[in-house]
Amino acid sequence: MTDATREHGPQPLDRLMDRWQLRNHDLVEASTEQLNHKQVQKGRHGRQLTLHLMLKIARAFNAAAMERLPKEQQPAFKEYQHKHLFSYAKGHDPEAGDPNEELLPPAP
C-alpha cells in the first residue's frame, strides 16, 4: 500500500468537530478508552485508520458532543457512526445530511 492511498484529506470529523466546537483534547478527555491526541489529529487530517480506531473516535466524539447539549436536548441526540465521520469508511454517503443538524450550535 502506498502513502497516496492512505491519505484521504480532511475528513467530515474535522468539520463536525468545528461545528460542535470541540477540540482534540475534548475527545481525549471524553473517551473511556485509551485515545490520544495524535490519534484524533490523524483522524481529522485523513490518515487512514483501522476500523477499531475509527469506532473508538466515534464513541469519544459522541460522548463529547453529548456533553455540549443541555439535558433537555440529550434524548434527541442521534449517535454518529464511523461512516458519518470518515469519508473512506464503508457505507459513507457524502450526500447524507447531519443527523443532528437541529441540535448543532450556530456556526461561528
What is the domain count for the chain?
1
Say if 73 falls within a structural domain.
yes
pLDDT tens-place string over residues 55-73 = 999 999 999 999 999 999 9
Say if 14 falls within a structural domain.
yes
Say if 107 falls within a structural domain.
no
Say if 42 falls within a structural domain.
yes
Say if 108 falls within a structural domain.
no
Range of the structural domain that residue 69 is part of: 3-102
pLDDT of the residue at 2:
46
Helix (H/G/I), strand (E/B), else coil: 47: strand
State mean pLDDT over 35-49. Answer: 96
Burial environment of residue 87 by CB neighbours within 10 A (0 to 12, 13 to 18, 19 or more): middle
